[in-house]
């Protein structure tokens, strides 16, 4: 048995063992969706960082930088600011009333089951887009490691993800995320010095990169306004994506959240910087790849020794899995908890609820693979798919969530208009606007903010019962 195969088999055995443990530890829907709300800072910060570090980082970021150079790399500066905002500004009010899902927060703050359902539908649609990007990356890895067709790889990786996520819920996800973050960090740390040595050292690396692609260290490969608005997308989306917001509910208290997010900032920034160096090595070693998304897999298989290459491939797989399992939880909860239970069967018994929760995840996990096998969603660089998802989430939820916990006058009509207007504008901009010059997040965010304010001021104010839990001074113990 070769090193790559044995490494992956060991990895999958550990993942399924965690899933089995989580099944035994899951006693309620709170356990299933937010790990009981009792996570400590280490696991909470690790799951936040692992969720962020997707195939968009290990495959997509390298893919874009392979083509466009380091000008894309400045976007990493937006991420620490996004997480600081989440911990310092949003979380102290957002977590006063713990919920199991983001749409459940929307219903509580905006006193409407219809607005909750609207949020759930937006999450379902956008998640399909994002999960497709991760599954494509998983298919590429399976093709390299096991020699199977990419389509088989996509099906296989999705089946593994669905197995432990359906069984163990959030408890399975957070502990596999901790394992996956460790693998990602080890893989990147091991790969960087070996890749640099392969090209003769740091100085030759920079010299060769400029010779192969003179635009690598310039601002000419991508329009400056596009780069700026992409950074805005990462900033706003980093705060407003449901899979990250729900982790604030999963952590024990504000002290835990602050310490966990500090760990997230350190881990995410370190991984991004290591990935930037690997992207330079890929430009030198593989100057004529048909797509930049092959850069990292090629480094793992053609440059590194077998054992370290297997670890790096496992890191890429871990990045993909740690994000998809979180997205499956979010989308599955939108379907089963927010739509089925929230609208149709709020009185369903606990046993049936958990069964429906698992079916919901199974359904939303199957749809992206079916679409990909049908030819829908192929051909885009992974990172650009990730950016579209981030723009959709930022355009839909940043304003309703942040404004909702700071402005008493925000109404359910304003929230509904902000979500619909924001996501519609972002999609329209992506399809028919100059998306190659300005990221869809900017028009989507501006329309969402305008509609929230305008419609809220034109409609009756919300009841105090909807705003007091978030905006009244907290009661002293």
Q: Does 438 fall in a domain?
A: no
Using an 8 Å Cβ cutoff, are 124 and 367 in contact?
A: no
Q: Does 441 fall in a domain?
A: no
pLDDT above 70: percentage of residues in the chain: 91
327-362 pLDDT tens trace: 778 888 887 888 878 777 777 776 677 777 778 788
Strand partners, 251: 39
Specify the pLDDT at position 161: 74
pLDDT band per the 50, 70, 90 thresholds, residue 84: very high
Q: What DSSP string runs through 82-128?
A: HHHHIIIIIHHHHTSS--SSHHHHHHHHHT-HHHHHHHHHHHHHHHH
Three-class SS of residue 475? Answer: coil
Q: Does 290 fall in a domain?
A: yes
List the Cα angle 387/332/51 in 5-degree steps: 45
Interval 151-155 mean pLDDT: 83
Q: Which domain holds residue 198?
A: 3-375
173-224 pLDDT tens trace: 888 888 878 888 888 888 888 888 888 888 888 888 888 878 777 777 778 8
Q: Is the pLDDT higher at 353 or at 377? A: 353
Q: How would you class 305 by CB atoms within 10 Å of its CB: exposed for 0-12, middle for 13-18, buried for 19 or more?
A: exposed
Q: Does the structure show a pLDDT above 90 at 374?
A: no
Q: How would you class 429 by CB atoms within 10 Å of its CB: exposed for 0-12, middle for 13-18, buried for 19 or more?
A: buried
Using an 8 Å Cβ cutoff, are 42 and 251 in contact?
A: no
- Here the tokens at position 172 are 């399975």
pLDDT band per the 50, 70, 90 thresholds, residue 295: confident
Q: What DSSP string runs through 232-249?
A: HHHHHHHHH-HHHHHHHH
Q: In this structure, what are the phi and psi dihedrals at residue 459, rounded to the nearest 5 degrees?
A: -120, 165
Interval 424-451 mean pLDDT: 91
pTM of the model: 0.85
320-331 pLDDT tens trace: 776 777 777 888
Token pair 């998802």 in the structure block, residue: 389
Using an 8 Å Cβ cutoff, are 429 and 448 in contact?
A: no
Q: Does 149 fall in a domain?
A: yes
**Average pLDDT of the chain to the nearest whole number:** 83
Interval 266-282 mean pLDDT: 86
Interval 50-64 mean pLDDT: 72
**CA dist., res. 189 & res. 178, Å (int):** 17
pLDDT band per the 50, 70, 90 thresholds, residue 364: confident
CA–CA distance from 242 to each of 101, 239, 297, 472 (Å)? 8, 9, 29, 25
Specify the pLDDT at position 255: 95
Q: Is the pLDDT higher at 173 or at 113? A: 113
**CA dist., res. 249 & res. 279, Å (int):** 35
Token pair 């997707």 in the structure block, residue: 54
Using an 8 Å Cβ cutoff, are 79 and 316 in contact?
A: no
Specify the pLDDT at position 1: 47
**CA dist., res. 321 & res. 308, Å (int):** 20
Q: Does 414 fall in a domain?
A: no
Specify the pLDDT at position 148: 79
Q: Is the pLDDT higher at 296 or at 422? A: 422
Return the CATH number at 142: 1.20.1730.10
Q: Does the structure show a pLDDT above 60 at 50?
A: yes
**CA dist., res. 189 & res. 428, Å (int):** 41
When divided into structural domains, the chain yields a total of: 1
Interval 153-179 mean pLDDT: 81
Q: Does 293 fall in a domain?
A: yes
5-41 pLDDT tens trace: 777 777 778 877 887 788 778 878 788 888 889 999 9
**CA dist., res. 151 & res. 237, Å (int):** 30
**CA dist., res. 462 & res. 453, Å (int):** 13
68-81 pLDDT tens trace: 777 777 777 788 99
Q: Does 400 fall in a domain?
A: no
Q: Does the structure show a pLDDT above 70 at 56?
A: no
Q: Does 416 fall in a domain?
A: no
Dihedral-angle region of residue 407 (phi above 0 means left; psi in -120 to 50 means alpha; beta otherwise): beta
């Amino acid at each position: 048995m070769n090193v790559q195969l044995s490494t992956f088999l060991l990895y999958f055995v550990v993942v399924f063992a965690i899933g089995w443990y989580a099944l035994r530890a899951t006693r309620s829907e709170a356990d299933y969706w937010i790990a009981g709300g009792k996570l400590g800072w280490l696991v909470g910060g690790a799951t936040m960082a692992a969720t962020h570090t997707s195939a968009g980082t290990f495959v997509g970021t390298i893919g874009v930088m392979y083509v466009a150079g380091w000008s894309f790399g400045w976007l990493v500066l937006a991420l620490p600011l996004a997480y600081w905002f989440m911990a310092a500004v949003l979380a102290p009010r957002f977590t006063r009333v713990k919920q199991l899902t983001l749409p459940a927060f929307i219903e509580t703050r905006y006193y409407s089951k219809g607005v909750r359902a609207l949020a759930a539908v937006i999450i379902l649609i956008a998640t399909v887009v994002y999960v497709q990007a991760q599954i494509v990356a998983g298919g590429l890895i399976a093709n390299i490691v096991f020699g199977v067709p990419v389509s088989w790889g996509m099906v296989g990786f999705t089946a593994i993800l669905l197995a432990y996520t359906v069984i163990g819920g959030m408890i399975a996800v957070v502990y596999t995320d901790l394992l996956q973050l460790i693998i990602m960090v080890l893989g990147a740390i091991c790969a960087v010095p070996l890749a640099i040595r392969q090209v003769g050292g740091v100085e030759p690396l920079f010299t060769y990169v400029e010779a192969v692609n003179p635009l690598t260290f310039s601002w000419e490969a991508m329009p400056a306004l596009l780069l700026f608005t992409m950074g805005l997308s990462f900033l706003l989306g980093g705060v407003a994506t449901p899979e990250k917001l729900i982790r604030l509910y999963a952590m024990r208290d504000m002290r835990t959240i602050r310490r966990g997010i500090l760990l997230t900032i350190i881990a995410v920034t370190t991984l991004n910087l290591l990935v930037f160096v690997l992207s330079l090595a890929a430009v030198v070693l593989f100057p004529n790849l048909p797509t930049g998304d092959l850069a990292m897999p090629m480094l793992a298989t053609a440059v590194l020794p077998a054992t370290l290459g297997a670890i790096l491939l496992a890191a890429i797989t871990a990045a993909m899995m740690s994000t998809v399992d979180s997205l499956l939880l979010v989308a599955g909860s939108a379907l089963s908890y927010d739509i089925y239970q929230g609208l149709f069967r709020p009185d369903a018994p606990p046993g049936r609820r958990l069964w429906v929760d698992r079916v919901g995840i199974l359904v939303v996990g199957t749809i992206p693979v079916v679409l990909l096998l049908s030819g829908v969603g192929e051909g885009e660089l992974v990172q650009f798919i990730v950016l579209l998802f981030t723009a959709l989430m930022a355009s839909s939820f940043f304003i309703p969530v942040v404004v909702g916990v700071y402005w008493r006058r925000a109404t359910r009509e304003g929230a509904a208009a902000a979500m619909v207007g924001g996501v519609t504008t972002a999609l329209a901009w992506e399809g028919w606007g100059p998306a190659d010059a300005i990221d869809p997040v900017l028009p989507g965010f501006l329309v969402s903010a305008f509609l929230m304010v305008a419609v809220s001021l034109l409609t009756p104010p919300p009841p105090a019962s909807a705003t007091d839990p978030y905006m009244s001074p907290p009661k002293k113990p």
